Amino acid sequence: MEIIKKIGLTLFFIGLLLFTACLHLSKFQMAGELAVDNDVHRTAITNAAAQSGLQGGEPQSIWTFAPRLKTTIKDAQSMLQAEVDAQGLPEGVAEWDYKIGDWKIKEYISSIVSSSTAGPISKSPWLWFFLTFGLGIIGGLLYILPSFAKLPGIKNDHVYHRSYQRGLRLAPRAAVLSLTIAGVLGYGIIYMGGSWIWTALTVAAGAIILYLVMIQQDSAKNQPARSAGPSITGWFGIFTGIYLIGFYILLYWAPSYIQGWIQLVNPISEALSGGPASQWFLYGFMYTIIVIVMGIRMIAKYRHNTYQMIRTGSVMFFQTAFAFLIPEIMVRLNQPYYDFKNIWPLNYTFFFDWNLNKLLDSGGLGIFMLVWGIALIVIAVPVITYFFGKRWYCSWVCGCGGLAETMGDPYRQLSDKSLRAWKIERFTIHAVLVFAVVMTILVLISYFSGSARLGFLNSEQVRTWYGFLIGSAFAGVVGTGFYPLMGNRMWCRFGCPLAAYLGLVQRFKSRFRITVNGGQCISCGNCSTYCEMGIDVRHYAQRGQDIVRSSCVGCGVCSAVCPRGVLRLENASGDIATRTSELRTIHIGEDEVTMLS
């Protein structure tokens, strides 16, 4: 058994190493007509490329090719600008059909890079697919499958002895978090075209939240952060975190650099949707593969618990079918790309003009998608959450939740359980909800009025900043990149606006709660430790108090890891008010003392 696991681990790391190497192995060479649809721009870039020697040169790695291409396109841009300055625009040609706008540069880099591939991967993509994804999957499964031979039951042995699982002490944790936030906010200035106002507003909002938590609620003095550190920091965890953060940075903001990876899945994209792969196809494919393989791990680990197995099956299904296959097939059928289970405000682009136009232009199916999407928001969320709690979405259907529950399961113990973290959470997640709602309202006003400018605000900029800060940086870079550093539900707990909305329903109008079995709790802390949402479950369990918390995603792991069978997820509201009251106790005879208060 051990030897099979070791072979699996070795294969996985070889696959990962080759996958990483693909970035460098993939070579690029300009050949034939450039993949630019504007004739003027294509000619200008071709000329500039001939001058700079990029056209016809040797195949190069992406690290030299992409920067040179960028310079070349900028040369073409200034050449065209110079022409316009000297001669004015030709008759009947719109300005931006002639000049190259700044926003076009990224798009042209992407399309030229993807059509300039040379080198081993583009020659034999299937071989390289096998050497990377194939070895990764086989290795992963070899590592996971022997667990099915163990006796069923909770196996959390050595979680805190492993360098990749045990998390960080307070100081390095704070350091990584601040560096990431500083990096995102700094890059945000560049991203917004040199405008610092958005970064400044975000910093101001963060400062207000910190003030409220630390000073107003006295948590700086009275409730210091939980310095929970193991004596040694988990270096493998830091490495994994940095790798994931790096991946997301390239994916969102420098996709031309991961062309080597995109090529790997090109054949699969061709087969599914009929078109070449984009970075989003790569991402969706990886996401699905990871959810499936790590889902199998989850099932092996919790196979004494039917709830966990069915729930994991559910997230695997929704990711594979709804998030990955159906949208790709829709594209193949010339229908809009649509993920039927993605709900606004998590799906923050739903009310964007281009999405609304796309749906409205797609006939009956498009209208159905529009109505479906709105029905999810106004009917499905409140009604289903009333009956089952927010778990129906967060830990059964959602893609972010699906990744957190599968790939993220090894890191669930790293969520911060301190009271202070809960205080911060309540501010940030609701702040993001407000931001999402305001942003969407502005976008819709613009949509109906036809003007992006609304007084001093520009809805175009607001939504760009939301997409950058929340959609990419928070949900992706921090959300997943911080799995090994601060737990697998950073995004769901501190940021997701849909989770905030579901949580409000769950907290104030839902039958869902976790019940506590009489006086059986021994305060051991397994429930709190393995709560990915950082809920101090033990706090309630040890005083016999039922648990109703807006953040609970109903994953059921507290109940699964409890060594005394104290916790159970239930949907029934009978006495929800009394049983969730403080300090309910049945330890002493109820005849004499029913409740302490």
Partner 1 sequence: MHIVIIGNGVSGITAARHIRKRSDHQITVISAESEHFFSRTALMYVYMGHMRWTDIKPYEDWFWEKNRIDLVHDYVESIDYGGNQVILAKANPIKYDKLILATGSKSNKFGWPGQDLEAVYGLYSKQDLEAMERHTPGLKRAVIVGGGLIGIEMAEMFRSRDIPVTMIVRESNYWDNVLPAEEAAMISRHIREHHIDLRLGVNLGEIIDDGQGKACAVTIKETGERIDCGYVGLTAGVSPRIDLVKDGPIETGRGILVDDYLETSVPGIYALGDCAELREPQPGRRPIEAIWYAGRMMGETVAHTLTGDRQPYRPRLWFNSAKFLDIEYQVYGDVPAQLPEDLSTLYWEHSDGRQSIRIVYETATEAVRGFNLFGVRYRHEVCEKWILDKASLDTVLQDISLANFDPEFCKQYEQDLVDQYNQATGKSLSLRKKRNLDQVLTFLNLRS
Q: Report the interface residues with partner 1, using CB under 8 A.
A: 151-154, 156-162, 222-224, 226, 228, 230, 304-308, 310, 413, 418-419, 515, 517-520, 522-526, 528-529, 538-539, 542, 556, 559-560, 563-565, 568-572, 574-575, 577-579, 583, 585-590, 592-593, 596
Name the residue nearer to partner 1 (CB basis): 24 or 304.
304
Name the residue nearer to partner 1 (CB basis): 5 or 226.
226
CB of 224 to partner 1, least distance (A): 6
Specify whether the CB–CB gap between 69 and 94 falls below 8 A: no
- Tracing tokens 């959602």 back to the chain, one arrives at 398
**Which DSSP symbol is given to 593?**
-
CB of 150 to partner 1, least distance (A): 9
Name the residue nearer to partner 1 (CB basis): 276 or 519.
519
Q: Chain-centre distance of CA 317, in angstroms?
A: 18
Q: How far apart are CA 581 and CA 597, in angstroms?
A: 9
Q: How far apart are CA 532 and CA 489, in angstroms?
A: 6
Name the residue nearer to partner 1 (CB basis): 89 or 310.
310
What are residue 30's phi and psi, to 5 degrees? -75, 130
Name the residue nearer to partner 1 (CB basis): 68 or 226.
226
**Which DSSP symbol is given to 473?**
I
**Residue 36 is encoded by which pair of tokens?**
């630019």
Q: How far apart are CA 310 and CA 554, in angstroms?
A: 13
Q: How far apart are CA 168 and CA 153, in angstroms?
A: 28
Q: How far apart are CA 490 and CA 499, in angstroms?
A: 12
CB of 523 to partner 1, least distance (A): 4
Q: How far apart are CA 1 and CA 190, in angstroms?
A: 52
Name the residue nearer to partner 1 (CB basis): 500 or 552.
552
Name the residue nearer to partner 1 (CB basis): 139 or 167.
167
Strands 117-118 and 567-571 come out as: unpaired
Nearest residue to 458 (alpha-carbon basis) of 447, 473, 443: 443
Specify whether the CB–CB gap between 326 and 369 falls below 8 A: no
Provide the strand spans (E) within 92-218: 117-118
Specify whether the CB–CB gap between 262 and 256 falls below 8 A: no
CB of 585 to partner 1, least distance (A): 7
CB of 521 to partner 1, least distance (A): 9
CB of 244 to partner 1, least distance (A): 24
CB of 321 to partner 1, least distance (A): 21
Name the residue nearer to partner 1 (CB basis): 418 or 464.
418
CB of 516 to partner 1, least distance (A): 9
